[in-house]
A = this chain, B = another copy of it.
């Protein structure tokens, strides 16, 4: 319904609805978790179906964020958690010297802003990489609901814990892998997440630049570019700018697992 579905294995083009339909004051639509098509990925994930039904209170307003726009900035007062409904976001930190450090990419069903709970202010920036849509989840509201639902409480805890685990695995990349291993791991992770969302795992369109990938993986954009080229020459990938086709997933996996030297 809201998640633009992929057309025959190819990631959809950014449609730019907001351009063709100049409706700015969209009535504050709300979405009920109980019949959201992302419910297996998103907040209610793991809650018993009966309880999701029961929790009719669980509905949130939807907001569009256009490509390049920020959803929140670091330091900004924490009010809401956001769930990606559609599109891709990047999370980033601003370094002391003003440069940007990309700390993650978020896709449909993933939550953003959990880092704001700690100190009442977001600890990172969130920027749309394409035209996107999010569910806005007011934190005090979800807290209040949680007091009445052990189930929701635990769902939130699980999601936060998942976030912690996710970060750990990234550390591994940065700590002990070389350029090829990092990019392979990145692509496989992306591929898997796309598959989970019903998109083709073997052919997709990158929403982020070489520089953003590099920042995320701890390497320079030139190295990212070279590594893409290397994979192409090895017959592992077909690369045309941001359009990627994985030709030999097994080889990609083995690059990633060859981390033995």
Q: Tell whether, in the assembled complex, residue B260 and residue A164 are in contact, meaning their CB atoms are under 8 Å apart.
A: no
Residues of B within 8 A of A143 (CB): 150, 153-154, 157
Q: Tell whether, in the assembled complex, residue B172 and residue A170 are in contact, meaning their CB atoms are under 8 Å apart.
A: no
Q: Tell whether, in the assembled complex, residue A124 and residue B168 are in contact, meaning their CB atoms are under 8 Å apart.
A: yes
Query: Which residues 173-201 of A sit at the B interface, judged by CB distance below 8 A?
Result: 174-176
Least CB distance from A80 to B in Å reads 14
Mark A88-104 against chain B: 1 for CB-CB distance below 8 A, else 0: 00000101110101010
Least CB distance from A7 to B in Å reads 33
Least CB distance from A138 to B in Å reads 14
Q: How large is the interface on A (under 10, 10 to 19, 20 to 34, 35 or more residues)?
A: 35 or more
Query: Which residues 199-215 of A sit at the B interface, judged by CB distance below 8 A?
Result: 215
CB of A165 within 8 Å of the partner chain: yes
Query: Which residues 75-90 of A sit at the B interface, judged by CB distance below 8 A?
Result: none
The one of B160, B163, B176 in contact with A99, judged by C-beta atoms closer than 8 angstroms, is B176
Least CB distance from A42 to B in Å reads 15
Q: Tell whether, in the assembled complex, residue A96 and residue B164 are in contact, meaning their CB atoms are under 8 Å apart.
A: no
Residues of B within 8 A of A99 (CB): 176
Instruction: Decide: A171 near B101, CB < 8 A? Known: A115-B164, A157-B117.
Output: yes
Q: Of residues A118, A169, A176, A215, which shows the largest number of chain B Cβ atoms within 10 Å of its Cβ?
A: A118
CB of A123 within 8 Å of the partner chain: yes
Q: Using CB atoms, name the residue of chain B closest to A160.
A: B160
Q: Tell whether, in the assembled complex, residue B260 and residue A114 are in contact, meaning their CB atoms are under 8 Å apart.
A: no
Query: Which residues 107-147 of A sit at the B interface, judged by CB distance below 8 A?
Result: 114-119, 123-124, 143, 146-147
The one of B101, B146, B164, B257 in contact with A176, judged by C-beta atoms closer than 8 angstroms, is B101
Pairs of residues from A and B, 9 with the lowest C-beta to C-beta distance, nearest first = A117-B161, A167-B167, A118-B161, A174-B174, A175-B218, A118-B162, A160-B160, A97-B260, A123-B165
Cα distance A114–B167 in the bound complex, in angstroms = 13
